[in-house]
A and B are shown apart, each in its own frame.
Chain A
Amino acid sequence: MNKGKSFLKSLIFTGNWNYENMQGSGFRYLLEEINQANDLGIDHKQLSRQTEYFNTHPFLVNFVLGVWFKEFVREGQPDYFKKVYSSALAALGDSFFWHSLRPISFIIAAFFGLMNPVLGVIMYLLIFNFFHFIFLYIGFDMGYVLGKEVISWFNRIKFNKWSGYSDFITSFLLGVLLSLGLKEYGMETITYYFFATCFLLVGFFIAKKLDVLFSLIIAIIACLIMLYVKGG
């Protein structure tokens, strides 16, 4: 199998994301590639069944694919483990990649970006895609070698704890970034610091109660009122 080609295809498999089969079309698209490359001779009926509902975290799809093939080759239960692993890895992947890796990549990039915006962009792309590409690249092999025991690999690297470690660092760096921003780039007046503290506390208290879009609209209107009252 051409790993490079398979990796590139897994970058676009979400092209037909929809409400009916979610990433099902993409999963079959990836299966066809591996089926052809390995001359496995999976029949059309089996392949067309793979267009059914499938949803996982897009960066971990190759693990599910590897497990499916392993089970298929040893005549086990490929579809059963596909279901089990797609939902398990969706939860693990969402928690790490979206909830934790994105914020930490952003915070680190923001620090570098305050020195030089280009450096910030480079850092963001490097940090995030390091994990993104590695998991996509090794996913199939891991899934295929370990088969239905692939979860043991995630347990071994303590993947479910990565979010916690990452959020710990993000919380600290977010505090430092905010201090840096307000002190270096804000106005050196007590009124300004008072309002910044109020904004922070209001953010704390209304988070999870009010949608962020509407609360940001309210925050902008508050800033506009402050500006017009102050007159610049």
Chain B
Amino acid sequence: MSYLALLMIAGFSSVDRNAAFHIMFSRPLVLSTIIGLLFGNVYLCFLSGLLIELFGNIDVPVGTKISKDDTFLAYSMGILVSFGIIQTLSDYLLGLLLVIIFVLPVTYVDMLTRKWNQHLLDKYLKYRIYKSPSGIIVKGITIAFLKGVVIYNIFCLIAAFILVRIEDYVSIQGDITAYIFLMSSFLAGYLIRFLSFKSVYKYIVFTVGLLLGWLVI
């Protein structure tokens, strides 16, 4: 039953990201935390979501651009953490590295699904132009769902398989949370540059926030 729920989550998050709804279920912070809630280790899943969300907010889907699939990243990290495949700090960093590398082929699949949609459209324009396009819309959503179920899980399983093999040889304990915030500070530097607010004020406001946070909290 829980595996079925997992497949549904993969499918629905892919639909939410690529084809319909866009209710932000596919956002890393949301998706990763939900996986953590259902399968365990919610806090680390949440922190992973936080890190990946920073990454995702830098690479936004403007115009025709296909942004890197941070939904897959969050889904895979959520599973690796929740199912106990990630045990130590070295596992966490290696797992993240593997999953990030797999983002490239998964994002390429996004491009292929759009080409498939184009193929559906061509057929529709040729044979069914006077009918409602609801059929090709439903098919597009189904393709996005299948993409999540199949592609997300295949690459996640490959990452898990490689990680299990590596961790036999390399395993170093450490504070995962501390490293998450270390990488977050790197991505925060990135994000602040991408915010569309007047440069000088942006840095001043950010620094004030940094200082206030440090002194008050």
Contact = CB atoms under 8 A, between A and B. Distances in A.
B192 A171 contact: yes
Dominant secondary structure at the A interface = helix
B29 interface: yes
A75 interface: no
A157 interface: no
A173 B212 CA distance: 10
Interface residues of B, number: 102
Interface string A191-219: 01001110111111111100011011101
Contacts of A180: 213, 217
A213 B186 CA distance: 12
B212 A176 contact: yes
A227 to B, nearest CB: 6
A20 B118 contact: yes
Interface residues of A, number: 96
A19 B206 contact: no
Given A117-B43, A171-B202, A174-B192, A212 B213 contact: no
Which of B24, B96, B194 gathers most chain A CB within 10 Å? B24
Contacts of A164: 196-198
Which of A90, A98, A121, A177 gathers most chain B CB within 10 Å? A121
Given A178-B188, A212-B190, A15 B19 contact: yes
Interface string B154-185: 00000000000000000011110111111111
B3 interface: no
A192 B182 contact: yes
Which of B59, B94, B136 gathers most chain A CB within 10 Å? B136
Contact of A167 (B58, B60, B182, B197): B197
B129 A216 contact: no
B5 interface: no
Given A187-B175, A208-B193, A220 B96 contact: yes
Contacts of A22: 64
Given A13-B20, A16-B139, 19 more contacts: A15-B144, A17-B117, A21-B121, A32-B132, A99-B60, A113-B29, A125-B24, A171-B202, A172-B208, A174-B191, A178-B188, A179-B213, A180-B213, A183-B214, A196-B182, A203-B185, A207-B193, A216-B187, A220-B93
Interface of B: 18-25, 27, 29-30, 33-34, 36-37, 42-43, 45-46, 50, 53-55, 57-64, 68, 89-90, 93-94, 96-97, 100-101, 103-104, 114-115, 117-118, 120-122, 124-125, 129-130, 132-134, 136-141, 144, 172-175, 177-198, 201-202, 205-214, 217
25 contacts: A14-B19, A16-B136, A18-B114, A22-B64, A25-B121, A26-B137, A51-B129, A120-B46, A121-B33, A125-B23, A163-B196, A171-B192, A172-B206, A176-B212, A178-B213, A181-B185, A183-B213, A192-B178, A196-B185, A199-B182, A200-B185, A200-B189, A204-B192, A207-B190, A227-B179
Interface of A: 11-22, 25-26, 28-29, 32, 44, 47-48, 51, 55, 58-59, 90, 94-95, 98-100, 102-103, 105-106, 109-110, 113, 117-118, 120-121, 124-125, 128-129, 132, 163-164, 167-168, 170-187, 192, 195-197, 199-208, 212-213, 215-217, 219-221, 223-224, 227-228, 231-232
